[in-house]
Amino acid sequence: MRLSRSLIPTLKETPAEAQIASHRLMLRAGMIRQMASGIYAWLPTGYKVLSKIAQIVREEQDAIGAQEVLMPTIQSADLWRESGRYDAYGKEMLRITDRHDRELLYGPTNEEMITAIVRDNIKSYRDLPQMPYHIQWKFRDEVRPRFGVLRGREFLMKDGYSFDLNYEGAVHTYRTIMLAYMRTFQRIGVTAIPMRADTGQIGGDLSHEFHILAPTGESGVFYDAAFEAGDALGVTDVNAFYEQVTTIYAATDEKHDTAVWDGIPTERRREGRGIEVGQIFYFGTKYSEAMNFAVTGPDGQKFYPEMGSYGIGVSRLVGAIIEARHDEAGIIWPDAIAPFKAAILNLRQGDAGTDALCEKLYAALGADALYDDREERAGQKFAEADLMGHPWQMIVGPRGAAAGIVELKRRATGERFELPVEEALAKVRG
RNA sequence: CGGAGCGUAGCGCAGCCUGGUAGCGCAUCAGUCUGGGGGACUGGGGGUCGUGGGUUCGAAUCCCGCCGCUCCGACCA
């Protein structure tokens, strides 16, 4: 992308409504624009990040055998009457009436819908287990949206659901998905810690929340430093992994157990703040019973499948990652989800040698590069590149161009390297 | 849902109290100089002052309604 032809409206000043770093930086870096309270349009760079996160989530779901589907945003009220949640859900649910006075709603989640779909199409125990998921926009009419995409009303979520033959199968699925989540967050490039959680209105008795550590998080968290090492991810056996992860201490302030805490060596105790970016639930037959989803077992008898649901807040992750990774100058993207791997900064637009070298770099990197080819001064280009947070800056001025040298700056560390063109490209490509 | 505010140019704001030709900085456009951390100078463009009504010779300014947005609290992926 050439910056001169892009829709990346950066701001020098911060819009008044943005209170926290991620909201401020997303607006200033031109990633999003607010369209209504808690509702945002995603501009090119914001949408690139959102898509890259979604893609990693998708790949890790597919890797454990989950199947991607796409359910609609609009649902029928009747579906929710079956589970009894139409009345229970309250004002957070956006209710809509169509031209025939039929009652509809903009889905805040999809347990009912997926249960109906599987119920209507799966009749035999032989077709279990099932693990469908989708990545779709949700709407929850929050009383007070705030913090930009961290607490919007409309948000993009990966929600997955599982249907198993029995409790043992359901627990295995639960653990499998927990491991997939840990791998997902690790690939994205953030530390997310699973913590025992309440099940809230979804119901059930086994649940974990995943928190990204960030000073501005809404929850206080206490955890064992062992999580920082990511040791458990090396474990490939699901049950061994689960055993290891759940025996390391981690709790939000709501569930903090000071007795256990005191038993952890002082040097391993970590206290901080966390942003919830995912939650997983096992809830048994709550929905399969309520919605009369029974399949025929090997003995010819009907039984209700054991269910669970699993969510990752994809749009929230964008904000949460920025909360965890930024400095005074701007965003510091992890390589895996950066909108561009590198910015090419042409410090002397119009200088033949400089232009030629920049074009060469741009041709080599293609869509992975944002080429700042504007008639702007060096200072502004540096400032905006730092703001947008590209992992690498490829700095090209007349002196370097004449010598065939590219100056590389690593955003995260501030390290600088002066390298010949091919070596610089190799480093950026990783 | 309780409490408190704010809507004036793309963004940040002043003007309102005490009614009288709508301003400043940044951004933007043209040009000149400049050229390694949001540079300087000259000139230009851009506004139904959220919206509807009322008071008045005259309303951004005073009064009433409505809409939108934000902050604190309770709630929450």
* Cβ-based contacts (< 7 Å) between A 118-157 and strand B: 140, 142-147, 150-153, 155, 157
**Per CA to C1' distance, which residue is closest to B77?**
A313
* Cβ-based contacts (< 7 Å) between A 285-314 and strand B: 311, 313
Q: In this predicted complex, what is the ipTM? A: 0.92
State the pLDDT at residue A232.
65
**Per CA to C1' distance, which residue is closest to B73?**
A144
Residue A411 and residue A328 in contact, taking contact as beta carbons nearer than 8 Å? no
Distance A377 CA to B40 C1' (A): 13
CA pair distance A173, A169, nearest whole angstrom: 6
* Cβ-based contacts (< 7 Å) between A 56-115 and strand B: none
**pLDDT tens digits for range A96-146:** 999 899 999 999 999 999 999 999 999 999 999 999 999 999 999 988 898
Comparing CA positions, the residue from A34, A240, A35, A238 lying closest to residue A148 is A34
Distance A14 CA to B62 C1' (A): 33
Distance A306 CA to B29 C1' (A): 65
**pLDDT tens digits for range A251-308:** 888 888 888 999 999 999 999 899 999 999 999 999 999 999 999 999 999 999 999 9
- The pLDDT of A380-385, averaged and rounded, is 96
Distance A34 CA to B28 C1' (A): 22
> Which chain B nucleotides are covered by protein, judged by CB under 7 A?
1-2, 11-13, 25-27, 34-39, 68-77
State the pLDDT at residue A234.
73
State the pLDDT at residue A231.
65
Residue A262 and residue A199 in contact, taking contact as beta carbons nearer than 8 Å? no
* Exposure class string for A5-38: b at 16+ Cβ within 10 A, else e: ebebebeeeeeeebebbbbbbbbbbbbbebeeeb
- List, in sequence order, the alpha helices (H) in A150-190: 167-188
CA pair distance A1, A116, nearest whole angstrom: 44
Distance A45 CA to B7 C1' (A): 29
- Give the model's confidence band at A202: pLDDT under 50 very low, under 70 low, under 90 confident, else very high: low
Preceding omega of A44 cis (within 30 degrees of 0):
no
Residue A404 and residue A424 in contact, taking contact as beta carbons nearer than 8 Å? no
Computed over every residue of chain A, the mean pLDDT equals 93
State the pLDDT at residue A13.
86
Question: What does DSSP say about strands A342-346 and A392-396: parallel, antiparallel, or unpaired?
Answer: parallel
**Per CA to C1' distance, which residue is closest to B75?**
A143
CA pair distance A245, A266, nearest whole angstrom: 19
Phi-psi region of A414 (alpha: psi -120 to 50; beta: other; left: phi over 0): left
Distance A35 CA to B54 C1' (A): 33
- Is the Cβ atom of A215 within 7 Å of strand B at any atom? no
Distance A374 CA to B34 C1' (A): 16
Q: What is the CB neighbour count within 10 angstroms for residue A59?
A: 13
Closest C1' nucleotide to A351's CA: B35
